[in-house]
Amino acid sequence: MRANGQSECSFKFLDEELNRRLVSSLKRARVPHRLDGSNAVHFSNHDEGAIENDVISPIRSSVFEQWQVLTCPADWVPRYKAYMLGHGVPFKEELIDGNVAFLLPGNVKPHHWQDL
């Protein structure tokens, strides 16, 4: 079971095209999953590693050859998003277990951002 007690994971790219690719890849891979009303993908925590490595990571790599995922507390999301938009930092938003995260190029150094 996940640290938060959940036996199910969820994931969604907020970019509609990337999320369509995710759903299509899961169907082709015949990985057990379900979609909710917002098209977030839900799957067993037992399949998390395979889905992350075999389905989500290749899509992320198609966006940024080298990438990283930035997570933060929910109340920080607007500040991070405003900073990235204001400084021309490329990013894509993701929902991981219902929490917003940012897919960033691997060469971006968020820990050096001073004026958040």
Rounded Cα–Cα distance for residues 104 and 61 (Å): 10
> Cα 31–35–37 angle (5° rounding)?
175
Global pTM reads: 0.89
- Please report, in tens digits, the pLDDT of each residue of the chain (116 residues total): 344 556 899 999 999 999 999 999 999 988 899 999 999 999 999 999 999 999 999 999 999 999 999 999 999 999 999 999 999 999 999 999 999 999 999 999 988 887 66
pLDDT at 2: 45
pLDDT at 116: 63
* Residue 43: closest CA among 13, 85, 6: 6
pLDDT at 30: 87
